[in-house]
Structure 1
């Protein structure tokens, strides 16, 4: 069964990377094969937290997609697009920097998928107004969302798993993860002109047209905008306080979506127009295929081989965890990887006498998994969502186009993280 799980995942991955066959179709067919051959059963696929579909992710996406669909009817995205373009004086590079910084900051407070769903419509509208290709902007934003999400406990799902297993708090993440996130973001912003060279040419006539626009005229339904603002404020508050409220973000998103459907009184076609059904189905198939790898022990075996090679040296262990976590998280979703690695890191940390050195293992796992999500187009949930949005907006981004950019950013992020871990925990102590 192990060989079957590996073979199905490898074939599906190659087909997804080829961009020749619809990703959702490939993922669902791969899921069908591992279920039909008995690698996983219905209990494993639909009910297990370790090997099954992560319904929290699916319903969080669904709820936020509906909220964004309702919000789109107000014209607020057009308002923000015009405002951003005017503040940047029509410069595409300055617009990219502005949107990237907003995305990273928002991803630290919300999960990165939610941030992507909110920022993408604004980006598409800005680029449409200036008649420039939106793909580089969307790629830059999703890379920034994965970097920014690493800063806090609630920014990226792997951080929640790590915090639960290691007994870490929200403030612990701010103290230990936020500094390196700020450093990586600063370097990333400096890299933007070279990383997306040739993407900043714009017709000055279009810039003049945009500068002449009045953003307030873009608001089509002020009453609905106020209602959306109230609901969104409550949703975001519940996201941030979910640890105190004990309500999962997925439930919050569904409640917010339901409330907006009721009070907006929109037609079904309006509030379902922004739901990326193919993206949701892709996640379903991907979760089942990865679940087969988890159930057959493939991920666990890979993690153990990597970590047992360190011989108990804390610094070597931290660097190996960081170095292995990045590529593995870029190939498979970082959530099941971190869930599998967490008990192993816990055992390794328990055998290290220096508390600072022991805790460094957890930060290595978090940085590797979070930053590694930028490596490929399916390395993080936000990547998949952004590619789906781009495809529907007629700005398709290929697997390899994303990966060429993401690999550079990941390499730089991991190199900076290695220096940070070494200096902070093993040199300065």
Structure 2
């Protein structure tokens, strides 16, 4: 009931902010003893996921420093000029960049880098900002599905199932490529009203020299070197064994140490309300775990497995899609993965259940504003820049995108692992 009440407040967006609703719900759970200090702050299963919080904090600091260089203005002008100021080609370009980057990085890092560029370019061209941000968030969740490092739920699944980077690439990248093509076509229809640029602003922008936007070349070089090291460390995680959160914090500390940017400047653009929202949300979801709600839902889904593997696989995929739209897909996968591991057994078969869980959780994250971490991060950036994304506005588009992508994913799973398997 507490989670449901907080969810209603988050969705209503009338009485309190979503951060206040999440923290308030967390406080009530702590006051009633549903969670305690240990389970809320120290437990890996039911507490705040500090890896997510500090990964976001570190990357926000790096992005804040990079903002001082003018690189985002440079990229905004470059992207707009490549698209010749045409709104739909610009969206396609930004969607493809976001999707590809999200498959190589985690999707949260990607949107932290891309969202500021998008806001600037839309403002330059007189375009509505929100449709472009929503399209990018969806693209980040779709693109992140393709690889082990692209979306946090995939990392949890890989750890629990003993799956490699190449396993994800072989099994999920093909369907992600199809989903992106379909999604681009969907954008043309969903956001048709947003493709109206100011002709005078387009002409003005085409005359600009993007190189003139760089205000501090030395700081830019320093920032790009540190960012490259951080991204390389993300990719080399299997070798270096540094958690992404540690890498992000080390990168942020190094950047502040080697540059003339003050600590105050580095921290000024950190989305503190977004970080607090995540903390409250994690505590509330931990309360659902403590009371057995998520386990009951997971076991209910698992109870239909029986001898009908194709039917159960479809149920797992769609059930994961629905539940990941209601609770953040990270704690959902953390709760569901042990159930799937038990069903698969020690021989690692049938592996298709892992792919159904990954597709459902990753794509279902597009359904609502709190379905995935990237959604919440972009909403925070948008609000800070005066273009808030309403819960229901996001959900109106997100439900369509989720339904279409889940239908395609279901067809892919059935065709590859059942129809053509024999």
TM-score, with normalisation over the residues of structure 1?
0.96
How big is each residue's C-alpha offset from its partner over 1:284-318, in whole Å with a ceiling of 9 and x where there is no partner? 10000000001111001001111212323211111
Q: 1:417 aligns with which of 391, 405, 409?
A: 409
SS across alignment from 1:419: helix
SS across alignment from 1:89: coil
Residue correspondence of structure 1 range 364-375 to structure 2 within 5 A: 364-375=356-367
SS across alignment from 1:271: helix
Instruction: Quote the residue 2:11 is aligned against.
Output: 17
139-148 vs 309-318, greater mean Cα deviation:
309-318
Give unmatched runs, 5+ long, in structure 2: none
Instruction: Quote the residue 2:23 is aligned against.
Output: 28
SS across alignment from 2:145: helix
Q: 1:327 aligns with which of 322, 325, 345?
A: 322
User: Are 1:109 and 2:104 matched, yes or no?
Assistant: yes
Determine if contact 2:230/2:251 at 8 Å carries over to the other structure.
yes
SS across alignment from 2:192: coil
C-alpha RMSD of matched pairs (Å)? 1.1
Instruction: Quote the residue 1:167 is aligned against.
Output: 162
How big is the shift at 1:269? 3.1
51-60 vs 159-168, greater mean Cα deviation:
159-168
How big is each residue's C-alpha offset from its partner over 1:119-172, in whole Å with a ceiling of 9 and x where there is no partner? 011101101111221111001000100000000000111111111111110000
43-52 vs 19-28, greater mean Cα deviation:
19-28
SS across alignment from 1:396: coil
Determine if contact 2:35/2:287 at 8 Å carries over to the other structure.
yes
Instruction: Quote the residue 2:338 is aligned against.
Output: 343
Question: Matched residues in 1 for 2:273 and 2:311: separation?
Answer: 42
Residue correspondence of structure 1 range 79-98 to structure 2 within 5 A: 79-98=74-93
Question: Matched residues in 2 for 1:148 and 1:365: separation?
Answer: 16
261-270 vs 202-211, greater mean Cα deviation:
261-270
Determine if contact 1:82/1:213 at 8 Å carries over to the other structure.
yes
Question: Matched residues in 2 for 1:275 and 1:218: separation?
Answer: 23
Determine if contact 1:307/1:320 at 8 Å carries over to the other structure.
no
SS across alignment from 2:229: helix
Instruction: Quote the residue 1:4 is aligned against.
Output: none
User: Are 1:226 and 2:221 matched, yes or no?
Assistant: yes
Instruction: Quote the residue 2:119 is aligned against.
Output: 124
Could you list the structure 1 runs, at least 4 aligned residues long, displaced by more than 6 angstroms after superposition: none
Determine if contact 1:46/1:53 at 8 Å carries over to the other structure.
yes
SS across alignment from 1:177: helix
Determine if contact 1:109/1:240 at 8 Å carries over to the other structure.
yes
User: Are 1:216 and 2:211 matched, yes or no?
Assistant: yes
Residue correspondence of structure 1 range 289-304 to structure 2 within 5 A: 289-304=284-299
Question: Matched residues in 1 for 2:379 and 2:47: separation?
Answer: 24
Q: 1:406 aligns with which of 376, 398, 401?
A: 398
